[in-house]
Structure 1
Amino acid sequence: MKITSLLSTIGLAATLMASSAIAADVKWDMANEYQETSIHGQAQKVFTETAMEASGGSIEITNHFGGSIGYKSKEHFDAVADGALPIANTSMGQVAGIEPMFLLSSLPFLVGSADDAQLLWETARPAYEEVFARNNQILLYASPWPPAGVWAKKPITSKAELAGLKVRAWDASGTSTLINAGAAAIQMSWADVVPQLASGGIVGVLTSAEGGTNAKFWEHLSHFSALNYSMSLNMTHVNKDEWDTLSDDQRAALQTAAKAASDAAWGALASRVSENYADMEANGITVVKEVPAGFLAELSVAGEQVYADWLAKVGDAGQKILDDYRAAR
């Protein structure tokens, strides 16, 4: 189901429209480093519109897409914890240096499908909630990225083609795996990617077809190799002090909005990849859909150290999540 079709169904009930002229009791600014057209941006619009409706107009959240509020994803976690931002939609792998648990959804080749990604999220959600709670925050919902691959000026289907490639990754997982496989990888915030592509600072990007489509990577690159490296998560989280000032009805409204946004994002995932591929091919991108199994196996070996490093940081809690997830698949 397309998110845009869900948005078209959202409207204020007649009883709420009558009160629309009343000033909102709560006015928040919501940060998101990614574009409004992204799966996360579209789900966020469902969230903010549903929050307004479900609260009877008492919660008004202004969306700031594309990093326009001045914060990158790697800065969101601390900013929300401290109250500099009331709420944010954050690429969680980018804050794994603060809380290692957030690297989970980026671990290489852990999930193989949308169903796997959702199962991993549901399995780990209590652990995520505990981390947010320790940091003065409330977790509302997660939205998934479609599978990650490599955008470049050539197909990336072997270690020889990857060797020395100046490629961006969004977190420590991708950076470490690509370096171990022979690339010249660097961790970089999303806002810096297009300028670096334009200047030649990088010539490749580890991200989804979705990410590159929204940023029009075809202006700089020519190929996308579908590695299915991971399906990482964005999460929407709110400052707990702000949360505590809300009425019970307002908190319930935000939970209703969170469910609507989550359902929209996960529901859109099934069709999003094919839509992205169509846009990419229409703009001259060669989509390499079949990547040799031997190369994927080499990348998996290159990522083994990522698992070891992650488990050394998160301990038994992380191992239990992996065990529970694998048992439930």
Structure 2
Amino acid sequence: MLTTIPGRKCIAVLFAMLMFPGASSAAQTLIYSDHEPPGGMRTRFINDVFFPAIEKESHGRLKVEAHWGGELSDGYTALAMAGKGDKADMAVVVPEYTAKALPLQQIFKSFPVGPAGEKQVAFFRRVYADIPDFSAELKKENVVNVFIATGYPLAFFSTTALSHPEGLKGGTWRSASFWHQGFLKNVGAKAVTMPWGDETYKALQSGSLDGLMLNVDSGYALNAQRFAPDVLVSRDLWLGHVYLLVMNKNTWDNLSRDDRAAIQRAADVAYQSLGSVMDKSFTTQVADLEKSGATVRILHSEDVAQWKAATRYQEIQSEWVKEQEKNGLTEAGRVMKQVSSILDEMMSPAP
């Protein structure tokens, strides 16, 4: 039966729809996948800051249903899953885990020194804004980047007293990054890879492994100081680790212009506090390492400069560029120069 609405009520309904357009349609739920549990700084920040900002900026039109701890996908299959869009609309992607699909985005880890905190956030935002090759690489995988979460500085966890990076020479060190393995070799150390777990801990205990070269938060989370209690760290020791929060391109394209703008505003809101949150978390991690019995040394700027020179990182970059161009990635050299230029500019002291 057709029901008519009295004139005054009809006007009231139309007024409400005009004033609150989101009220006239059901909220859209975006499914998010993350390979890490929700207790870390990055996952907490995404869940507590970025996702609420999406809902607020969209006036409730968009909501996020988050799945943590690899419930939908592990870190190595997240990019492919997000590109398909069948299990999730959004996922966090670690470029290092998908080097074949995202070769250009391996460039970030090729620098031994770089910015931290707010400057690091600004660096990555500018790189992705100014160098379209990165977005094009993601587009080939049918995803769009909507938020960039960054990593913590590099640290050395040593089984013996270590006062500066020169002490790495002659030792055996574990690193998962091919860039960092090159750094270690150039400073006279032996670089090895091995999976996390009993094998690594036994190697540290037996003395066959002298230490670990990794991001300070991973060492902190793994309690690496139990077996390698001497820690060298600096905010300037660059890891270049980035977590891309990507959205399936079809999902993105099907959002209204207002909803896409709302997500971009939410990212802007989150970026405003990301750097300071990371700085505070870094300070807490260092303090907790010391409380647990670790000896933590913060490197002086002179030590950082010596490490940068000793790694001969530009030689490693040149070899990588040659290999990539040989394999058909002709833009590798140009993009490397562009990233280097932006990084140098970000590291220059303010006038």
TM-score scaled to structure 1, two decimals?
0.77
Partner of 1:210: 217
What is the aligned counterpart of 1:276 among 285, 310, 330?
285
- Contact map agreement 1:210 1:276 (CA 8 A) in 2: yes
Partner of 1:247: 256
Partner of 2:238: 230
What is the aligned counterpart of 1:75 among 72, 77, 97?
77
Comparing 291-300 with 301-310, greater Cα deviation is found at 291-300
1:11-26 alignment, distance < 5 Å:
24-26=27-29
1:91 aligns with 2:98: no
CA distance, structure 2, for counterparts of residue 290 and residue 230 of structure 1: 13
- Contact map agreement 2:34 2:70 (CA 8 A) in 1: yes
Offset of 1:239 from its aligned partner?
1.3
- Contact map agreement 1:223 1:287 (CA 8 A) in 2: yes
- 1:23-44 per-residue CA deviation (whole Å, 9 max, x = no partner) reads 75224032243x5343321221
User: SS of 1:47's equivalent?
Assistant: helix
User: SS of 1:133's equivalent?
Assistant: helix
Offset of 1:276 from its aligned partner?
1.2
Comparing 92-101 with 200-209, greater Cα deviation is found at 200-209
- Contact map agreement 2:54 2:266 (CA 8 A) in 1: yes
CA distance, structure 1, for counterparts of residue 140 and residue 304 of structure 2: 40
What is the aligned counterpart of 1:260 among 259, 269, 275?
269
Offset of 1:278 from its aligned partner?
1.0
Partner of 2:186: 180
Offset of 1:148 from its aligned partner?
0.8
Partner of 1:326: 344
1:134 aligns with 2:134: no
Aligned residue type for 1:87:
M
CA distance, structure 2, for counterparts of residue 299 and residue 110 of structure 1: 6
User: SS of 2:125's equivalent?
Assistant: helix
Aligned residue type for 1:109:
P
Unpaired runs of 5+ residues, structure 1, are: 1-14
CA distance, structure 1, for counterparts of residue 192 and residue 146 of structure 2: 30
Partner of 2:316: 306
Offset of 1:281 from its aligned partner?
1.0
CA distance, structure 2, for counterparts of residue 253 and residue 111 of structure 1: 31
CA distance, structure 2, for counterparts of residue 168 and residue 270 of structure 1: 24
CA distance, structure 2, for counterparts of residue 298 and residue 276 of structure 1: 23
* CA 1:267–1:290: 2 relative to 1, 3 Å: closer
Give the percent of matched residue pairs that are identical in Structure 1 and Structure 2: 16
CA distance, structure 2, for counterparts of residue 64 and residue 103 of structure 1: 27
Offset of 1:277 from its aligned partner?
0.9
* CA 1:295–1:319: 2 relative to 1, 3 Å: closer
* CA 1:282–1:39: 2 relative to 1, 3 Å: same
CA distance, structure 2, for counterparts of residue 186 and residue 55 of structure 1: 48
Aligned residues: 306
User: SS of 2:77's equivalent?
Assistant: helix
Aligned residue type for 2:274:
A
Partner of 1:12: none
CA distance, structure 2, for counterparts of residue 122 and residue 310 of structure 1: 24
Offset of 1:274 from its aligned partner?
1.5
Aligned residue type for 1:245:
N
CA distance, structure 2, for counterparts of residue 289 and residue 132 of structure 1: 37
* CA 1:150–1:242: 2 relative to 1, 3 Å: same
- 1:222-247 per-residue CA deviation (whole Å, 9 max, x = no partner) reads 22211543142222111101212323
CA distance, structure 1, for counterparts of residue 69 and residue 157 of structure 2: 20
1:316 aligns with 2:325: no
* CA 1:184–1:106: 2 relative to 1, 3 Å: same
* CA 1:65–1:129: 2 relative to 1, 3 Å: same
CA distance, structure 1, for counterparts of residue 210 and residue 72 of structure 2: 28
CA distance, structure 1, for counterparts of residue 278 and residue 175 of structure 2: 24
- Contact map agreement 1:209 1:224 (CA 8 A) in 2: no
Aligned residue type for 2:251:
E
- 1:77-109 per-residue CA deviation (whole Å, 9 max, x = no partner) reads 333223354322233333344323212332233
1:285 aligns with 2:294: yes
Partner of 2:127: 124
